[in-house]
């Protein structure tokens, strides 16, 4: 079965590390990085990117609009 | 077996399904990490973008944390004196009846100092949208008790918890104004979970549709968190919100 795949891009410099996207992700793709951005926040990053389904939950709850979501639907074989 | 795409390939070949709306500026929001204001701003602007009325809309910013809303919303904005946003919006709407006018207010602004303006604008049935972000506290000035602070809730001016005998019960503005005939749509939403954000967006859309159809005042209350004022992490504050705020301020349509 063709599985829908997703990917996210996080604008790390604008991320405030609030952790809301980590909680909202149903497939536990996102985690906070141990490294910090220019403002000193532990920014979110897709740690287990392969599990992403492109559901947009993370971007929907992100208060700072730092996440862009892409989705790829493979053509049916 | 289809080949497994790397995230980079998905980004290149896939379609973007969530991109920041153009009606939000590129300025970094001044809110604390995890604050519900950011989501409330975004869904409001997304509704305007979807309806294609961004260039015909005038927003009125309040006093409070969201006083700088005009820095973030890429539309025409006016800043009102504390609590007077519905009065200013009344003036704008009467001068430009063809424009869409909304106010964006917090609970200290709408439910405390601006009670009279809010109630009378609603009573006159002004054809405006009021977006009311309720976090039960004065967030900007350091977490003082607001009219919407819950019973027993600790704030910097009620260190032993809000005492109802002395300070009254939390005021339910949306229920109050829903009794007025001028109000066509009163609803309470939240933005701490993805599903609730989508519901809140639909409610805001309905409010602007009502304005388009000249039905009267629409008020959309958004129960939000204030993790700095409540002295919690963003995730904990959302759990606290669900357990404590929502029983007092239940979600759903109150009128319309």
In a domain, B110, yes or no: yes
* CATH number of residue B61's parent domain: 3.40.50.970
Element (H, E) at A10: strand A5-10
Residue B1: its pLDDT value, please? 45
Burial class (CB within 10 angstroms; exposed 0-12, middle 13-18, buried 19+) of A76: exposed
Mean pLDDT for chain B overall? 94
Residue range(s) defining the domain that contains residue B211:
31-251
Secondary structure of chain B as H, E, C letters: CCCCCCHHHHHHHCEEEECCCCCECCCCCCCCCCCHHHHHHHHHHHHHHHHCCHHHEEEEECCCHHHHHHHHECCEEEECCCCCHHHHHHHHHHHCCCCEEEEEEEHHHHHHHCHHHHHHHHHCCCCCEEEEEECCEECCCCCEECCCCCCCCCECCECCCCCHHHHCCCCCHHHHHHCCCCEEEEEEEECCCHHHHHHHHHHHHHHHHHHHCCCCEEEEEEECCCHHHHCCCHHHHHHHHHHHHHHHCCCEEEEC
Contact B14 A6 (CB under 8 A): yes
Q: How many residues are there in chain B?
A: 256
Token pair 């005038």 is at which residue?
Answer: B58
Structural domain contains residue B120: yes
Query: Is the minimum CB–CB distance between A61 and chain B shorter than 8 Å?
Result: yes
Instruction: Using alpha carbons, select from B218, B215, B234, B217 the residue that is nearest to residue B226.
Output: B234
Work out how many domains chain B is built from and give that number. 1
> Do the domain assignments include residue B15?
no
Q: Do A68 and B35 touch (CB under 8 A)?
A: no
Residue B9 — very low, low, confident or very high, per pLDDT cuts 50/70/90? confident
B13 lies in a domain? no
Task: Give pLDDT, residue B6.
Answer: 85
Tokens in use for A6? 């997703």
The verdict on a CB contact (< 8 Å) between A14 and B198 is no
- Residue B231: left (phi > 0), alpha (psi -120 to 50), or beta? left
- Give residue A5's pLDDT band: very low, low, confident or very high (50, 70, 90): confident
Cα separation of the two ends of chain A: 9
What are A37-64's pLDDT values in tens digits?
A: 999 999 999 999 999 999 999 999 999 9
Coil, strand, or helix at residue A12? coil
Tens-place pLDDT, residues B101-155? 999 999 999 999 999 999 999 999 999 999 999 999 999 999 999 999 999 999 9
The mean pLDDT of B89-97, rounded to a whole number, is 97
Cβ(B162)–Cβ(B151) below 8 Å: yes
Q: Does any CB of chain A come closer than 8 Å to the CB of residue B201? A: no
Predicted confidence at residue B88, as pLDDT, reads: 97
Tokens of B201: 């967006």
Q: Mean pLDDT over residues A7-15, rounded? A: 94
Q: How far is CA B14 from CA A6, A28, A36, A60, B142, in A?
A: 8, 21, 29, 19, 45
At what angle are helices B36-51 and B194-212 packed, to 10 degrees?
50
Which of B248, B31, B247 lies closest to B139 in space, CA to CA? B31
Both tokens assigned to B241: 């919100």
Name the residue ranges covered by the structural domains of chain A: 5-72
State yes or no: pLDDT of A1 exceeds 60: no
Of all residues in chain B, the one with the smallest CA distance to A52 is B7
**C-beta atoms of A16 and B194 within 8 A:** no
What are B188-206's pLDDT values in tens digits? 999 999 999 999 999 999 9
ipTM of the complex: 0.91
Q: How are beta strands B15-18 and B252-255 bridged, if at all?
A: unpaired
Contact A50 B191 (CB under 8 A): no
Question: Of the CATH numbers 3.30.565.10, 3.80.10.10, 3.40.50.460, 3.30.70.20, which one belongs to the domain with range A5-72?
Answer: 3.30.70.20
Show which of residues 230-249 on chain B sit within 8 Å of chain A, judged by CB atoms.
233-235, 238
> Which chain B residues in 19-38 lie under 8 Å from chain A, judged by CB atoms?
19-21, 24, 28-29, 31-38
| Residue B216 contacts residue B127 (beta carbons within 8 Å) | yes
B50: in domain: yes
Nearby residues of B207 by Cβ (< 8 Å), 6 or more positions away: B102, B129, B131, B185, B187, B218, B219, B220
Structural domain contains residue B100: yes
Residue A67 near chain B (CB below 8 Å): yes
Give the closest of A24, A49, A56 to B18, CB-based.
A56
């Amino acid at each position: 079965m063709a599985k829908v795949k997703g990917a996210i891009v996080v604008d790390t410099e604008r991320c405030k590390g609030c952790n809301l996207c980590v909680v909202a992700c149903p497939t536990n793709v996102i985690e906070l990085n141990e490294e910090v951005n220019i403002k000193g926040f532990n920014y979110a990053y897709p740690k287990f990117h392969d599990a992403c389904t492109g559901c947009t939950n993370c971007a929907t709850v992100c208060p700072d609009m730092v996440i862009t979501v892409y989705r790829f639907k493979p053509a049916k074989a | 077996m289809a080949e497994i795409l790397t995230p980079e390939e998905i980004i290149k070949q896939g379609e973007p399904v969530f991109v920041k709306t153009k009606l939000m500026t590129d300025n970094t929001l001044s809110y604390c990490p995890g604050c519900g204001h950011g989501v409330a701003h975004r869904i409001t602007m997304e509704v305007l973008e979807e309806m294609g009325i961004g260039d015909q809309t005038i927003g009125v910013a309040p006093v409070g944390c969201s006083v700088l809303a005009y820095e973030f919303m890429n539309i025409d904005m006016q800043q009102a004196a504390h609590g007077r946003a519905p009065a200013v919006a009344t003036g704008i709407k009467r001068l430009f009846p063809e424009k869409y006018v909304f106010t964006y207010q917090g609970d200290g602004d709408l439910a405390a100092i601006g009670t009279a303006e809010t109630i009378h604008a609603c009573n006159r049935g002004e054809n405006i949208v009021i977006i009311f972000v309720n976090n039960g506290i004065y967030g900007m000035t350091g977490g003082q008790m607001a009219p919407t602070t819950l019973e027993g809730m600790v704030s910097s001016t009620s260190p032993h918890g809000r005492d109802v005998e002395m300070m009254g019960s939390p005021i339910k503005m949306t229920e109050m104004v829903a009794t007025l005939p001028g109000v066509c749509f009163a609803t309470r939403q939240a933005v701490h979970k993805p599903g609730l954000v989508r519901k809140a967006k639909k409610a805001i859309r309905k409010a602007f549709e009502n304005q388009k159809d000249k039905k009267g005042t629409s008020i959309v209350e958004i129960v939000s968190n204030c993790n700095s004022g409540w002295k919690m992490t963003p995730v904990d504050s959302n759990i606290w919100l669900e357990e404590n705020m929502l029983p007092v301020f239940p979600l759903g349509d109150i009128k319309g």
